[in-house]
Structure 1
């Protein structure tokens, strides 16, 4: 079993340039976790590039061996640093975890 973790965020800022900067900041910080958090099996992240009035600003798709791997990722100190930044710029969060 592989557990896929999918998260999308909407930025809190109103200004489109600031929203884009914050979204890019989240994506780059998340991408930097590859090779640092050993439980990550695959990770893809990026800022939205189409339909900014309808789409969320940035998303993450990450794969883990199982729920224990996801939970280890959640509490890893490097991930917690990213979480702190995310919480400082995000207005809304949506997530789903499913088996693939």
Structure 2
């Protein structure tokens, strides 16, 4: 299994903006066959080093992750995230 984690720091981290983006991310659930698990969490500490949103996804293989990367539903999310994020970091690992 491959775990893909992305953390996002938003330009506008108001509760409304964060909730809107959380919904965009969660909207992928059930729409991408290769996406085996999705979890979206929001930061509760709000420290200087905090990111606003964490996305945890799981895939059966690297090939499945690659299919996800180019899936039309994921492309919609990328378009949204490009417009609202200040920064993002990611990690991918075998789990």
Instruction: Specify if TM > 0.5.
Output: yes
- Figure out how many residues of one structure are paired with residues of the other and give that number: 95
Structure 1 residue matching 2:8: 3-state secondary structure: strand
1:84 counterpart = 2:75: no
Structure 1 residue matching 2:33: 3-state secondary structure: coil
Structure 1's consecutive aligned runs of 4 or more residues displaced over 6 angstroms after TM superposition are none
Structure-2 separation of matches of 1:88 and 1:22: 12
Q: 2:23 aligns with which of 28, 34, 42?
A: 28
1:51 counterpart = 2:46: yes
Give deviations 1:33-57, integer Å, cap 9, x for gaps.
Answer: 1110000111100221223433100
Give deviations 1:21-40, integer Å, cap 9, x for gaps.
Answer: 33222221111111100001
Say what the alpha-carbon RMSD is for the aligned residues: 1.3
Q: Which residue does the alignment assign to 1:10?
A: 9
Q: Which residue does the alignment assign to 1:42?
A: 37
Shift of 1:82: 1.0
Consecutive unaligned residues of structure 2, counting only runs of 5 or more, are none
